[in-house]
Structure 1
Amino acid sequence: MLEKTFKTRAFTVISLALLLTCSWAMPKQALASSEEKPREGLPGRRVGGGTRGQCFSSVGRLMALVPENNLGFTKKAYPNILFYLPPTSTPAMVEFVLQDESRQSVYETTFTKSSAGGVINFSLPESTSLPPLAINKKYNWYVSLICNPENRANDIVVHGWIQRVELDSNLTKKLEQTTSPLGRVALYAQAGLWQDALATLAQLRSTQPNDSKLAVNWTQLLKTENLDAIAQEPFLEIQIPNSP
């Protein structure tokens, strides 16, 4: 039992060290090609403007949970995208839009949030209307908090970018052999796959909210990109209309 406890604690320390030292600018170990590429930043808006009208709230702002360079990498064809919705004075409509590099909309949906604030772990649906993300192509995603449906000029908007990459065989094998979800988080973090590390850890946190080790890892991961202001916020469940 003592040996098992030691291994668990040791792994937690190791995973935290990976989170603290990882770089999300370029997934060096994730790409099938070993060619180095320069750090890249893209235009985006991580934090929304002040609240207004129906969206009035005395605390919190709409936030896109993306790295500071606004680009998150993923290995998944249908990845998860995370954002924080602030409390609102009443339930409010939220719009999510995904665009390709030519600014063509490839997916969009709306849903209603309650007046409560919290983190949304949004999963792109596997449907005939949404093709899988193309490898090495960038997609721009937008979240709009609709403060006045009659005047969309008052929307509060954040947006970020996501890019799917092809994994090398070594990392693919490690992920296949790793049965621990937290172990996969550490591998994603080491490889620079922000979207997958964040989404996997968010899922663990939402299902095990009282696990102190997960809470520490979640905070440290957010802190790597100065997003830890929302580390203590709850996770929200939302109902997304069915896609064809």
Structure 2
Amino acid sequence: MSNRPGKLLFAGLMGLALAFPFGISPSYGSTVKSSSQLIALKFPQANTDRGQTATSGGGGVRQTSGGSCLTKANLPFQLLIPGDYNQGSGFHNTANKETFIYAYVPPQSEVTAKVQLADPITKAQNQTTFAVSKEGGIVRFPVTLPDNAIKDDFYNVTLTLICDANNAADNLTVELTVNYTPLAPSPTKPDSSLAKAAFYAEQGLWLDALNALAAIAKEEPEEWQEFLESGGFKTWAEAPVVECCQMVKTSASAN
């Protein structure tokens, strides 16, 4: 647990449990097969597709405003984080300081994304602005934790998608909290993206497992789609994965 002043009290007041989820046992073969054979990597079967929305995209996730340009599309905006893992702790664990938040963004003429990372203890924050591809698809938004982050440091992440810079009321804003949960070296170091995804899934680390699979989504579309479906995202599973993002600017501040 971090020794930063006030952190334990803060976490206690929030009533959030900093722990790996119990009962998460992804279904995959005991031996990772060749890239041409499915291992059917899954998160819990309880995560069946429920037609999730951004507001149901996981414990501690909430959509706070607008976004009709994205939520009223034939296939609407969706944050790709399951709604019922991490035991509702409000945290989304990540073993890596360089991580990503994945979301489906509908095709649109122009969207700008802002990703803000804030430390709830020190109040330090940084914000990066990106231009999002107009073709639409599953986009990964980069989130970089501070170099000095240690185990169980948590950070508030705010993702804002701007369709019209002149109409702030229609910006789509999603808020969540990530918890830095570094792992001890695994007994056998995963030697492929598929093996890494299986390893992270076994630890209950959705963000890390999804990122490992995203690296091979085009080469292993069945695995990618199977994993998304197991998280409750069947409706969006066949959407293309698109590159993001072209950085426009970044800024930092501290109180």
| TM-score of the pair, normalised by structure 1 | 0.69
Equivalent residue number for residue 183 of structure 2: 167
Q: Is the 8 A contact 2:68 2:170 kept in 1?
A: no
Give the SS at the match of 2:107: coil
The percent of aligned pairs where both chains have the same amino acid is 25
Residues 134 and 59 from structure 1, CA distance in 2 versus in 1: closer, same or farther, beyond 3 angstroms?
Answer: farther
Give the SS at the match of 1:204: coil
Query: How far off is 1:20 after superposition?
Result: 4.3
Q: Is the 8 A contact 2:115 2:157 kept in 1?
A: yes
Match among 206, 228, 235 for residue 194 of structure 1: 206
One-letter amino acid of the counterpart of residue 193, structure 1: L
Match among 91, 99, 102 for residue 79 of structure 1: 99
Query: Is 2:234 the counterpart of 1:218?
Result: no
Residues 181 and 86 from structure 1, CA distance in 2 versus in 1: closer, same or farther, beyond 3 angstroms?
Answer: same
Tell me which protein shows more helix as a share of its residues: 1
Q: Which aligned pairs between 1:68-217 and structure 2 lie closer than 5 A?
A: 68-69=83-84, 71-88=91-108, 90-102=109-121, 104=123, 106-125=125-144, 130-169=146-185, 171=186, 173-174=187-188, 177-205=189-217, 209=218, 211=219, 214-217=220-223
Q: Is the 8 A contact 1:93 1:110 kept in 2?
A: yes
Q: Tell me the matched-pair count.
A: 204
Tell me which protein shows more strand as a share of its residues: 2
Any gaps of 5 or more consecutive residues in structure 2?
1-31, 48-57, 85-89
Q: Is the 8 A contact 2:154 2:177 kept in 1?
A: yes
What's the CA shift string for 1:56-81, capped at 9, x where partnerless?
A: 86322222222214643211122222
Equivalent residue number for residue 60 of structure 2: 43
Residues 7 and 63 from structure 1, CA distance in 2 versus in 1: closer, same or farther, beyond 3 angstroms?
Answer: closer
Match among 9, 28, 34 for residue 8 of structure 1: 34
Query: Is 2:74 the counterpart of 1:59?
Result: yes
Query: How far off is 1:243 after superposition?
Result: 5.5
Match among 228, 237, 240 for residue 234 of structure 1: 240
Give the SS at the match of 2:42: helix
What's the CA shift string for 1:133-170, capped at 9, x where partnerless?
A: 4321222222212133133222112233321113235x
One-letter amino acid of the counterpart of residue 136, structure 2: G
Stretch of structure 1 that moved more, 192-201 or 157-166:
157-166
Query: How far off is 1:117 after superposition?
Result: 0.9
Distance (whole Å) between structure 2 residues aligned to residue 232 and residue 71 of structure 1: 27
Distance (whole Å) between structure 2 residues aligned to residue 123 and residue 151 of structure 1: 25
Query: How far off is 1:115 after superposition?
Result: 2.5
Query: How far off is 1:224 after superposition?
Result: 2.5
Query: How far off is 1:131 after superposition?
Result: 3.7
Q: What RMSD, in angstroms, separates the aligned Cα atoms of the two structures?
A: 3.3
Distance (whole Å) between structure 2 residues aligned to residue 65 and residue 47 of structure 1: 17
Distance (whole Å) between structure 1 residues aligned to residue 222 and residue 238 of structure 2: 10
Any gaps of 5 or more consecutive residues in structure 1?
1-5, 25-40
Equivalent residue number for residue 29 of structure 2: none
